Amino acid sequence: MRFTQTLHLTRKPDEGVVCISIATSENRVDEIQLDEHEFKKAAHALWDRSTEYQGGLVFQGKFKHGHFSLSVRTGANTRTVYRLEEHAVMSVLGQYMAETGGE
């Protein structure tokens, strides 16, 4: 599990993708590109603070004890889990929901 410092999200609606940048405590930035449809499933669950992993095969998320865990498929049988504080995720999700109309 990687403890993260910041989360940044960029939408590319014309391509149907969402780009996530996660700065980790290991002084690195992981860039993840996701299909927007798949990201949207997880985003709604995160917004509702789901305590069970929700989303698709590539990207999932859950909320527990003031932190979000974001799980990203990184290989055929491997995943990387990022742990983010609530305030870091909710501001980014709030902006995403406003841009997409919460649909």
Q: What is the pLDDT of residue 102?
A: 64
- Residues of the domain holding 76: 2-100
| pLDDT tens digits, 9-59 | 999 999 999 999 998 877 889 999 999 988 998 999 899 999 999 888 899
Question: How much helix, strand and coil, in percent to the nearest 5, is found in the chain?
Answer: 25, 45, 25
Residue listed under structure tokens 């999700």: 93
**What average pLDDT does this structure show over 85-91?**
89
| pLDDT tens digits, 28-41 | 899 999 999 889 98
Specify the pTM. 0.84
Number of domains in the chain: 1
Closest CA to 4 of 71, 49, 58: 71
